[in-house]
Amino acid sequence: MKYAEGKVGKVLLVKLEKGDDLLLSIKKVAEENSIKVGSWYAIGTLSTANFYFYRPKPSPILLEEPLEIVACSGSISSRGNETIVHGHIDVTDDKYESHGGHLLEGSFVDAMAFITILEVIGANLSSIDL
């Protein structure tokens, strides 16, 4: 097991609106607030969910129907000047069937989504290869 220690810095509460891209919005807020390391979680609804399961090879799934986010969380890290947002999502459809995997760009908010972003200050991520 590997870990890095840090302290909580900024806590951002973000409301997304219809049509916003969930993953790209988190990245934009992180960049605008100079967050280099952090974690996030989300609730809300999507009109489109784009994700994949990682084995045997990534094969994206696109669901285009009203969906409720029942679990969605991830990390924020940096490589050079690039902000990396990684996340996983689980959504349910109107039949209460669950679908989920690795979150991709192209997951669009339906009615609304609410994101909480936690900045982590002082953590050395090179020791854990995040």
Cβ–Cβ < 8 Å for 8, 121 = yes
Instruction: Name residue 42's amino acid.
Output: A
CA separation for the pair 36, 80 (Å, rounded): 10
Sign of CA dihedral 98, 40, 53, 56: negative
Q: Is 96 exposed, middle or buried (0-12, 13-18, 19+ CB in 10 A)?
A: exposed
- The predicted pLDDT at position 55 comes to 80
- The predicted pLDDT at position 124 comes to 83
Architecture of the domain spanning 7-121: 2-Layer Sandwich (3.30)
1-56 pLDDT, tens digit each: 989 899 999 999 999 999 999 999 999 999 999 999 999 999 999 999 999 988 88
Name residue, tokens 């784009």.
50
CA separation for the pair 98, 104 (Å, rounded): 17
- Single pTM value for the model: 0.93
Instruction: Name residue 30's amino acid.
Output: A
In degrees, rounded to 5, the angle at the alpha carbon of residue 51 between the alpha carbons of residues 46 and 120 is: 85
**Rounded percentage of the chain residues whose pLDDT exceeds 90:** 85
Q: What are the residue boundaries of the structural domains of the chain, listed by start?
A: 7-121
